[in-house]
Amino acid sequence: MKNILFIASECVPFIKTGGLADVAGSLPKYFDKKEFDVRVMMPKYACIPDEWKEKMQYKTHFYIDLAWRKQYVGILELEYEGIKFYFVDNEFYFAGMKPYGYIHEDIEKFAFFCKASLSSLPSLNFRPDIIHCHDWQTGLIPVYLHDMFTENEFYHGIKTIMTIHNLKFQGIWDLKKVKDITGLNSSFFTSDKLEAYGDANYLKGGIVYADMVTTVSDSYAEEIKMPFYGEKLDGLMCARSNSLVGIVNGLDYDEYNPETDNMIYKNYNAKTFRKEKVKNKHGLQKELGLLQDDKKFMIGIVSRLTDQKGLDLVDYVIEEICAEDTQLVVLGTGEEKYEHLFRHFEWKYPDRVSANIFYSNERSHKIYAGCDAFLMPSLFEPCGLSQLMSLRYGTVPIVRETGGLKDTVEPYNEYENKGTGFSFANYNAHEMLNTIRYAKDVYYNRRREWNKIIDRGMALDFSWASSAKKYADLYNGL
């Protein structure tokens, strides 16, 4: 039996700001219980909904030194869907309406979280063989294990895995302050360890000291060795390339299932979508006040509205995208310029553009089910979950060939009758536009081929089960 401890800064169903929470909350359920005992540790934020806080049970408390203060650490426990979750409690650090705040506060908060998590292990009667760390917030865990925790025999031989969900976020702050906060030995703050470009970098420390480094798709694992994607750590990623593995995130196939989804207008499956899927389009057109017409090619976008997501390309050719035979449905929030862009086009073409500048889980399900195509022109995309959702719902993805998008969407090839979506290679607005027009041409003039693209997409398996198998192999290898 191998003991595995996930340590992460967020986790579904308790708190979520991004895909990291899905991994931390969903993946542990899919391991073979006879082979692995997988548990999860996360902060007990004040903003976790009360329904969960009421179910947590007190386990223990103690104090640790951090910077110049003695800090309280409480540990609470809750079992959910067969998995034990531990919550690290400290109201000084985890108060507030959001899990993350200003970076200088977060730097201290997550130093505390890393040290408290490790310090709590002896009192939990659970000694992990492997600690699986996620993103920069847990980057200090492998470092601490090589510093102040080496004196205690309990920690000897614990292996660590560092998973990078998005290399853009690294936890960077002033070197001297980080030295004071963390209490780490000065020898750790050199350019081959925690120091990077004059500052201290949590994620870099985690990558240097972890036994294995993983990221959330094969292509992203290759891309981050190059300066363009490497966010100034490409040299380090090359140096660690023999310990670097890409494993695509999965999707919770129970939650995202067009056959049983109670948020969509009409259920359907891979056999019945030809007749039933269009009823979701009708429902969506009606609910959003768009022209109710089967013959409009409906494109969905569910995204953070930021440059990373390729929305500057959309901005450049949006007038051409919103042609008379097309409807565009957007859901998400983000940079003001993109929020205004979509609102403006909704005002200009109220019968064919719907700008939903907020986030709603229910509305997102309706978009995945109701649209004909789903657009993701990302500049970079470590994994991406939206294209997996759209494949699952028989909505054809149109993506740029980068990171996880390249790994999960096979471009349509009309000569070999292959492919599950449409893709373009260069970060270029007109290349994207041509790909959209090509998809539209197949949709209107070769409907049988279009339906076969959907058939192939809905037959794919991107459930967590296949990702869990790869992680299991990795754990066994360690």
What is the tens place of the pLDDT at every residue in 89-113? Answer: 999 999 999 999 999 999 999 999 9
Over residues 435-469, the pLDDT tens digits come to: 999 999 999 999 999 999 999 999 999 999 989 99
Residue 229 sits in a domain whose CATH number is 3.40.50.2000
What domain range is 8 assigned to?
Answer: 2-250+465-477
Asked if the structure places residue 267 within a domain, the reply is: no
**Same domain for 336 and 216:** no
Q: Which of 385, 435, 433 is nearest to 405 (CA)?
A: 385
Q: What six digits make up the tokens of 452?
A: 């076969």
Under 8 Å between Cβ of 288 and 363: no
Asked if the structure places residue 215 within a domain, the reply is: yes
Asked if the structure places residue 59 within a domain, the reply is: yes
Show the CA angle centred on residue 384, arms to residues 446 and 283, nearest 5°: 55
**Same domain for 420 and 346:** yes
Under 8 Å between Cβ of 8 and 46: no
How many CB atoms are closer than 10 A to CB 37?
18
Q: Report pLDDT for 17.
A: 85
Walk across the sheet containing 172-174 and list its strands. 172-174, 199-201, 195-196
Asked if the structure places residue 266 within a domain, the reply is: no
Q: Which of 152, 140, 153 is nearest to 109 (CA)?
A: 140
Q: What six digits make up the tokens of 212?
A: 């294995």
What's the rounded mean pLDDT across residues 37-62? 97
Q: Phi first, then psi: what are they for 39, rounded to 5°? A: -125, 165
- How far apart are alpha carbons 267 and 249 in whole angstroms? 25
Asked if the structure places residue 120 within a domain, the reply is: yes
User: The tokens 């800064």 sit on which residue?
Assistant: 9
Q: Tell me how many helices (H) and strands (E) the chain has.
A: 19, 18
Residue 396, strand partner residues: 373
**Same domain for 57 and 116:** yes
β strands within 379-427, DSSP E: 396-400, 422-424
Q: What six digits make up the tokens of 309?
A: 């997501």
- How far apart are alpha carbons 326 and 31 in whole angstroms? 44
How many Å is the Cα radius of gyration of the chain?
23
Instruction: Name which residue leads in pLDDT, 67 or 176.
Output: 176
Asked if the structure places residue 255 within a domain, the reply is: no
**Same domain for 366 and 241:** no
What's the rounded mean pLDDT across residues 19-37? 94
Over residues 258-297, the pLDDT tens digits come to: 999 999 999 999 999 999 999 999 999 999 999 999 999 9
**Same domain for 151 and 239:** yes
- How far apart are alpha carbons 418 and 456 in whole angstroms? 8
Asked if the structure places residue 256 within a domain, the reply is: no
pLDDT band, residue 19 (cuts 50/70/90)? confident
Alpha-carbon torsion, ordered 289, 292, 294, 298, to 10 deg:
-20
Over residues 394-430, the pLDDT tens digits come to: 999 999 999 999 999 999 999 999 999 999 999 999 9
Q: Has residue 158 got a pLDDT over 90?
A: yes
Q: pTM of the entire structure?
A: 0.92
Under 8 Å between Cβ of 113 and 182: no
**Same domain for 445 and 319:** yes
**Same domain for 246 and 315:** no
Count how many domains the chain has: 2
**Same domain for 246 and 281:** no
- How far apart are alpha carbons 433 and 313 in whole angstroms? 9
Over residues 314-344, the pLDDT tens digits come to: 999 999 999 999 999 999 999 999 999 999 9
Looking at every residue in the chain, the average pLDDT score rounds to: 96
**Same domain for 33 and 114:** yes
Q: Has residue 475 got a pLDDT over 90?
A: yes
**Same domain for 186 and 328:** no
Residue 71 gets the label, from left (phi > 0), alpha (psi -120 to 50) or beta, of: beta
Asked if the structure places residue 268 within a domain, the reply is: no
Look up residue 7 and give its amino acid. I
**Same domain for 127 and 26:** yes
**Same domain for 154 and 11:** yes
